[in-house]
Amino acid sequence: MLEGKKILLGVCGSIASYKSAILTRLLVKAGADVKVIMTQDATHFVTPLTFSTLSKNPVFSTYFKADSGEWNNHVELALWADFMLIAPITANTIAKLANGHCDNLLSAVYLSAKCPVFFAPAMDLDMWLHPAVQRNVSLLESYKNKQIKPAYGELASGLVGEGRMAEPEEILAYLQQALGTDLPLKGKRVLITAGPTYESIDPVRFIGNHSSGKMGFAIAEEFARRGAQVTLISGPSSQVLRAPSIRRIDVSSAEEMYHSVHQEFPENDIMIMNAAVADYRPKQVAPEKIKKSPSEFVIELVKTKDILSSLGEMKRDDQILVGFALETNNEEEHAIAKLNKKNLDFIVLNSLKDEGAGFQGDTNKITIIDRHLRKETFPLKSKEEVAKDICSKIADYL
């Protein structure tokens, strides 16, 4: 949910500012682009170099760059951000922002911001409970700013009570939940398959294909970014999921994938069948490794269960089923035949004739055809961008 988000992180002068360094790292790791604005007091607790290194962006603390006299434009910074987070925010800064005072870069950016603003207070117990502070917090909330409430625990003064800044992991989770409420696919359950299947010949060898799983994993990540509850069933793949919300089920063979998909299918709204499932498997699996022989070696194959056809037969009217067609000749004709035969709502076609498309690579070129035979062809893109096109097409359909 934070992938690609532009975040302004304001840091005030508090012992809790060391947590902001950890928070910066977590935000960047989640895919966000982070720019840090520090008050002068904050620079006494953590150096700007720390935040610059972690965020991979310059750190802002004054209106002018001392060496060049160049202006740090507070209006441009405010317009750049998707949202602003001030963590920690002190009693002093809360008072300034609540009452419209503007005597540093952070307050100037805040007063210029049109984006959502979140703030995480940090101060001692008695200070936090003071009526003036509570009044100012209420004022900030009345401006539609969102408070990430302080936690209960041991404070820098030695007192125990409310006032500790929320932990970085808690702030990250709060942001993901808050941003998720407005996501277009919030509440939708999506089942995605990815990768190849391996059909064993003996304990050592198998029949498989060149699918890496990259496309299916990218689709899973994109649906999760848009708020969907995603389950990914993957054949053997070295791909790693970044979104912690995605539930992953690992399988190996076509039979295992068949059973996992059928177990999950009834509870889902959208099914994206991207896996390259083997059409055939060995009729017999040797219990021991087959030794090399000078004569010819023949493996008798039998058909695997057609997962996509079986889902098309049991699909409800309120479910969306999407299949993939990787073709080498008469591509569109074969894709449409598959769309109709298997009762799909969409089919995503790509051709091995298109340079940069297909297995293993980081790019793909697709055509999406719906059940009414309306089609849209996209240029060669990264698989992440292709995933966005597929997700957008389904979201528009919904």
Q: Is 350 a catalytic residue?
A: no
Residue 291 annotated as binding site: no
CA neighbor of 20 nearest in space, from 140, 120, 159, 91: 120
CA neighbor of 275 nearest in space, from 293, 302, 257: 257
133, 127 Cβ separation under 8 angstroms: yes
Going through 341-391 in order, the beta strands assigned E by DSSP cover: 346-351, 363-364, 367-370, 375-377, 381-382
Residue 103 annotated as binding site: no
Strands 229-234 and 189-194: parallel
Encode burial over 57-87: b for 16+ CB neighbours within 10 A, e otherwise.
eebbbeeeeeeeeeebebeebbeebebbbbb
From the candidates 209, 268, 329, 364, give the one annotated as an active-site residue. 209
CA 361 to each of CA 126, 141, 299, 316, 328: distance values in angstroms, whole numbers, following the listed order: 59, 48, 30, 35, 17
| Segment holding 341, helix H or strand E | helix 331-341
Residue 338 annotated as binding site: yes
Per DSSP, the chain holds a count of helices (H) and strands (E) of 13, 21
Residue list for the binding site for CTP: 279, 289, 324, 338, 342
Residues marked as catalytic? 209
